[in-house]
Amino acid sequence: MSSTPVWTARLVATTESILTWRARRKARKKIRQQKKHVIVDWIEAFLWAAGVVLLINQYLLQAYRIPTGSMIETLLLEDRIFVNKMVYGPELLPGIGKLPGFVEPKRGEVVIFENPSYISRGPVFNIVQRVLYMVTLSLVDIDRDESGEPRAHFLIKRAVGFGGDRIRSRDGDLQIRPIGQAEWLTEQEFARQTDTPFPIRRMITASDYASYRPAAQEAAREILGLAATTDGRAAQRAVQAPGSIDPFEFDRLRSEFLLKANPSDERTVVRHSFYELGWYVPPNTVLTLGDNRDNSRDGRYYGPVRMDRVLGRAMFRYWPLPRVGAIR
């Protein structure tokens, strides 16, 4: 009669021991689960789900709500979108550090970035605010101003100017002079040449600009202490109507008249040179602009944004349902 090998007996004993341990462990877990209060069980499930959402939002996809009309028609007020956080490199923690990305922002892409004019309330508040914002898929935002409106910690605009570019405005239409070129190109022509077309919406028409020159001249006369003119006053009233003023073009024309009146005034010379030479985009920065050019507080006000402040690329619109689709 043959005896069972020792190693086989040990294997059987070990297997039985493991199975017994697993059975006891499952039984203890089931007992604990039965004793657990339903509310505690629900809280644990919620926290687990919230942790998963946080990881996804922080490192992969993040949900954002569009707070203004600066990107009409590409993005409308109250649109909710997902932003690709991996492509440019996600932050290590909310507001702290940044991991390397796969690529850098490209011309014409819709990007999200930290608002250069945002005044922080401190790192602890920033983390709590961003965690709540991410967990609730942008439904809860505790970062609000005195009137109860959300403060713009992040902005979503289109990447238009890159290192070495110069950009200036004429009658509200942008012109670009890329690095190494001497001639100014209209934005539309430049987009065609670089194969990066994107939509531009104008609310101020070409006919609206007819009143700008006499209105700006009247404003210059006021600064110089000269007597007002009837035509100039009428032009000023015309451009003061809501939505009819382009502050950059108005100030450019006013500085032009002031320079003609007093070419030796250094402040006027500098101001006029700024409008002639345009905004310079330093290396490793990007100039971001809204598609709705006449209703967008963008890089023309706060200047170029550092590349390490660009947090993601707008990828997909998930709400409202009739507008679901990719963002371009």
User: How do residues 152-169 score in pLDDT, each as one tens digit?
Assistant: 888 999 999 999 999 999
Task: Write the DSSP string, 255-283.
Answer: HHHHHHH-TT-HHHHHHHHHHHH-EE--T
What pLDDT is recorded for position 32? 66
What pTM was computed for the model? 0.78
Would you write out the chain's pLDDT as a tens digit for each of its 328 residues?
A: 445 566 676 766 777 777 777 777 776 776 666 666 667 777 777 777 777 777 887 788 888 889 889 999 899 998 999 999 999 998 887 777 888 888 999 999 999 998 888 888 877 887 788 778 777 777 788 888 888 888 888 899 999 999 999 999 998 899 999 888 889 999 889 988 888 888 899 888 888 888 889 999 999 999 999 888 888 888 888 887 766 788 889 999 999 999 999 999 999 999 999 999 889 999 999 999 999 998 899 999 999 999 999 999 999 999 899 999 999 8
User: How do residues 310-320 score in pLDDT, each as one tens digit?
Assistant: 999 999 999 89
Give the whole-angstrom CA distance, residue 116 versus residue 303.
8
What pLDDT is recorded for position 242? 65
Assigned CATH class of 60-201+283-326: mainly beta
Nearest to 161 by CA among 279, 69, 313, 312: 279
Cβ-proximal residues to 289 (8 Å cutoff; 6+ apart), any chain: 157, 158, 160, 161, 174, 296, 298, 299, 300
What pLDDT is recorded for position 31? 66
Residues of the chain with CATH 2.10.109.10: 60-201+283-326
